Amino acid sequence: MSEKYQRAIQESREDAELFWTRAAALIDWITPPARAYGEPRGWFPGGTLNTAYNCIDRHIAAGRGDQLALAYDSPVTDTVRRFTYAELHEEVGRVAAMLASLGVAKGDRVIIYMPMVPETAFAMLACARLGAVHSVVFGGFAPLELAKRIDDATPRVLLTASCGIEGARTIAYKPMVDEALELAAHKVQDVVLFQRERLPAELKPGEHDWMELRAATAGDPIPPCAELAADDPLYILYTSGTTGTPKGVVRENGGHAVALAWSMANIYGIGIGDPFWAASDVGWVVGHSYIVYGPLIAGATSVLFEGKPVGTPDPGTFWRVMRRHGVKSFFTAPTAIRAVRKEDPEAKLLAEIGTGDCRVIFLAGERADPDTIAWLEEKSGLPVIDHWWQTELGWPAIASCFGLDDLRRKRGSAGLPVPGYHFAILGEDGQPVPQGQSGAVAIKAPLAPGAFRTLWNNPAGFDRNFASYPGWYETGDAGHFDDDGFLHIMGRTDDIINVAGHRLSTGQMEQIVAQQDGVAECAVIGADDAIKGMIPIAFVVPRAGFEGDDSMATRVLGAVRHELGAVAALKTAYVVGSLPKTRSGKILRNLLRKIVNGEDYGIPPTIEDPAVPDLIALAVRG
């Protein structure tokens, strides 16, 4: 254990007030907070600040206006654009002036339904500058889902683009926006559309062309940064709710800025001028925290990537982008690496291109299986760090803190608790389970700065997160601590299935399946069974060169039986071309359960390829 990590974790637990007061010094405050924490206002009560100022203006004031702030790399359009902090200030200021001309002011909501282009980041930061609350919704989200978010957030303005580019597909946004506006009960006052050359769109009367509105407000002064309380909302980010209604996670300005500043330095090892790349989407929390806000708060250079790990144009895209921009720390999803490995199992392109100045690779989004980590470490020669967090938390809660010189890691584990978080593994009685035993992963309240403290329009929904274990936040994940203190997240608590009275972890089975030769990725789910209650079923995607391997299913079943015994009862494995996943790479296991159980299923709005569920249904029925 590194001395830096040991000191940080000890201080964060023994004197959280001192720990977070020191961390707050990483931020420029208009009014410094009276203390680190105090109810009812939470973190940094009495403090006022502006997040956009901390992302841009303060770096210019420090003489770093000519430093590179944002690098946009779009292999799908063969475009690279770069913006210094001074140029970013101008671009964000112009969008802020556009919004102000439409009457947007502090406290108003703005929905951003846009692709991975610089203008999306400009819009987010412009809202932050004005004190307006933005809510980014994935461009290409289904109209009904967009309508639900419009009705919940009640935005004054909706910002969109004519299209998005998803690999080889071009997706028209305007028809979906039009349908959503018809479905929504709330009436948005203004729509502003950014035209893309690939597929322009027609505007309706009263709607605004982005560039025309920019030109019309070019003479307006850039609006000043609004002064916001630490507990004022910065953004709303919707995540799936258990009732089918999306829940709006509210992120507050103060705790968010402090947590991201601390994490950039101490988890990712990134400081002023360092290029950092999170290969995610701004529709996800990763994109909010580590494409737009975190790197800019740290004074680093953030890479904004529009493309896919494969097919744009090939499995070498990641390595080319890393080298082109001198990336020092890289963050992606395990499923992206599995996709690269599937297409280039010998990593020939990685060997040819290299990783340039990169020092470390971080993985998150879903559990990283040990085999994928081992492959990537071997082929890249870099430390590969799995880490874990959620939309609700806003930044990592389990990790190996690279910036604290703590490179201890164990394949299959998400790492160690991050300073600021106090974890426990609880049983059904709410008491901690013995070391090594699985249970519900919970975090002691109050949650660290940057974590949510309410849901938009739904405080009761927020309270339900603490209802099962009073004083503890129920993460919804199952896991265990091992003897060395590493925390293993094995899957959602509903991934613990009961087979004839035996509680089995589908995550444990997935770990075994993933290690078998030729397996690119896999999922194990619990299906209903009239005799045993539930039985596990595996779905396996073969790597390149193993598509015709008729023995794969048999080998997978034999491996699970060998390691877990006959009680595991894994008797069915489907070999399929791909798995249904969200655009962030999370496998939609609930959808697989419905298909196997013969239930009606809808195509989720977050899905990457809507055709996959029907193809899997054919395989299951066949």
Residues in Cβ contact with 206 at an 8 Å cutoff, skipping those fewer than 6 apart = 190, 191
| Of the listed ranges 227-236, 295-304, 432-441, the one predicted with least confidence | 432-441
> What is the percent of the chain with per-residue pLDDT over 70, rounded to a whole number?
97
pLDDT score at 168: 86
Q: How confident is the model at residue 335 (pLDDT cuts 50, 70, 90)?
A: confident
Asked whether residue 552 falls in the same domain as residue 612, the answer is: yes
The answer on 148 and 279 residing in a single domain is: yes
| Angle subtended at Cα 396 by Cα 394 and Cα 400, rounded to the nearest 5 degrees | 170
Q: Looking at the domain assignment, is residue 603 inside a domain?
A: yes
67-71, 181-185, 507-511, 523-527: the lowest-pLDDT one: 507-511
pLDDT computed for residue 138 by the predictor: 87
Q: How far apart are CA 613 and CA 604, in angstroms?
A: 10
Q: How many domains does the chain have?
A: 2
Which single residue is written with the structure tokens 């600021």? 420
Residues 514-519, mean pLDDT to the nearest whole number: 93
- Report the run of H or E that residue 165 belongs to, with start and end: strand 163-166
Establish whether the linkage from the previous residue to 345 is cis, with ω within 30° of 0: no
> Which residue in this structure is represented by tokens 């007030």?
17
**Of 361, 387, 334, the residue nearest 520 (C-alpha):** 334
Q: What is the pLDDT of residue 421?
A: 98
Q: Are both 214 and 92 inside the same structural domain? A: yes
> 373 lies in a domain?
no
Q: In sequence order, what are the beta bridge partners of 54?
A: none
H helix intervals, 500-608 = 506-514, 552-564, 589-596
pLDDT(65) > 90: yes
100 band by pLDDT with thresholds 50, 70 and 90: very high
Asked if residues 550 and 575 have their Cβ atoms less than 8 Å apart, the reply is: no
Task: Determine, yes or no, domain membership for 367.
Answer: no
pLDDT band, very low/low/confident/very high, at 344 (cuts 50, 70, 90)? very high
pLDDT, tens digit, 9 for 90 and up, residues 220-274? 999 999 999 999 999 999 986 545 578 999 999 999 999 999 999 999 999 999 9
**Residue 464: its H or E element:** helix 459-464
Residues 92 and 219 in one domain: yes
Nearest alpha-carbon partner for 513 in 503, 521, 505:
521
Percent of the chain having pLDDT more than 90?
80
Bond prior to 275 in cis (omega within 30° of 0): no
For residue 314, what pLDDT is reported?
97
Q: Is the dihedral of CA 117, 119, 120, 122 positive or negative?
A: positive
Residue 222: what residue type? I
Strand order in 157-161's β-sheet?
208-209, 190-194, 157-161, 109-113, 133-136, 233-239, 247-252
Check residue 567 and give its pLDDT: 59
The mean predicted confidence, pLDDT, of the chain is 93
pLDDT of residue 241: 56
Same domain, 456 and 533: no
Residue 560 or 455, more confident: 455
| Cα dist from 352 to 317, 344, 347, 355, 609, whole Å | 12, 12, 9, 10, 30
Residue 500 has pLDDT above 70, yes or no: no
**Cβ(89)–Cβ(56) below 8 Å:** yes
Which of 479, 513, 545 is at the close of a domain? 479
CA–CA gap between residue 110 and residue 529 (Å, rounded): 47
pLDDT at 584 over 90: no
Q: Is 585's pLDDT higher than 90?
A: no
Helix (H, G, I), strand (E, B) or coil at 84: strand
Q: What integer pLDDT is reported at residue 509 of this predicted model?
A: 87
Answer yes or no: do 156 and 248 share one domain: yes
Q: What pLDDT score was predicted for residue 568?
A: 61
Does residue 567 or residue 573 have the better pLDDT?
573
Which residues, 6+ apart, have CB-to-CB distance to 236 below 8 Å?
109, 133, 134, 135, 153, 248, 249, 250, 251, 456
- The predicted pLDDT at position 566 comes to 60
35-57 pLDDT per residue, tens: 999 999 999 999 999 999 999 99
Q: Measure the CA–CA gap between 211 and 192, rounded to whole angstroms.
A: 9
**Euclidean distance between CA atoms 226 and 229, whole angstroms:** 10
Q: Are residues 267 and 302 in the same domain?
A: yes
In terms of phi and psi (left: phi > 0; alpha: psi -120 to 50; beta: otherwise), the region of 381 is: left
pLDDT above 80: residue 445: yes
pLDDT at 135: 98
Same domain for 572 and 522: yes
Q: What is the pLDDT of residue 503?
A: 61
Question: Which residue's entry shows tokens 């610089």?
Answer: 118
Q: Are residues 391 and 519 in the same domain?
A: no
C-beta separation of 287 from 114 below 8 A: no
- Among 445, 479, 513, identify where a domain stops: 479
Contact 304, 256 (CB under 8 A): no
Query: Residue 394 domain-assigned?
Result: yes
Q: What is the structure's pLDDT at 621? A: 84
Would you state the pLDDT for residue 504? Answer: 73
- Taking residue 39's Cβ as centre, other Cβ atoms within 10 Å add up to 7
Q: Do 520 and 550 belong to one domain?
A: yes
pLDDT, one tens digit per residue, over 363-385 is 998 788 899 999 999 999 999 99
Quote the DSSP letter at residue 117.
Answer: S
Answer yes or no: is 155 within a domain. Answer: yes
CA 146 to chain CA mean position, Å:
19
Q: What is the pLDDT of residue 433?
A: 94
Q: What are phi and psi of 22, to 5 degrees?
A: -65, -45
Can you tell me which residue has the tokens 């996670």? 249
Quote the distance between the C-alpha of residue 505 and its chain's center.
24
* φ, ψ (nearest 5 deg) of residue 465: -65, -15
Q: Is 72 among the domain residues? A: yes
Q: How many CB atoms sit inside 10 A of residue 441's CB?
A: 28
245 or 552, which is more confident: 552
Residue 365 included in any domain: no
Confidence category of residue 502, pLDDT binned at 50, 70, 90? low
Q: Match 């020191």 to its residue by tokens.
A: 22
Q: Are residues 423 and 557 in the same domain?
A: no
What pLDDT score does 253 carry?
98
pLDDT at 1: 73
CA distances from 509 to 54, 410, 538, 568 (A): 45, 18, 9, 8
Determine the Cα–Cα distance for residues 328 and 323; give it in Å rounded to an integer.
10
Query: Helix 253-266 vs helix 16-24: angle between axes, to the nearest 10 degrees?
Result: 90
- pLDDT of residue 591 exceeding 70, the answer is yes
Residue range(s) defining the domain that contains residue 609: 500-621
**Nearest to 51, CA basis, from 130, 164, 158:** 130
Query: What is the reported pLDDT for 565?
Result: 66
Q: How confident is the model at residue 107 (pLDDT cuts 50, 70, 90)?
A: very high
Residue type, 446: P
The enclosing domain of 581 has a CATH number of: 3.30.300.30
pLDDT band at 508 (very low <50, low <70, confident <90, very high): confident
Residue 491: pLDDT above 80?
Answer: no
Tell me if 419 is assigned to some domain. yes
- Do 437 and 510 sit in the same domain of this protein? no
Residue 293 belongs to domain with CATH number: 3.40.50.12780
pLDDT level of residue 531 (50, 70, 90 thresholds): low
* pLDDT band, residue 432 (cuts 50/70/90): very high
Please spell the DSSP secondary structure of 292-349, one letter per residue: IIHHHHTT-EEEEE-S-SSSSSSTTHHHHHHHHHT-SEEEE-HHHHHHHHHH-TT-HH
**pLDDT tens digit string along 456-467?**
999 999 999 999
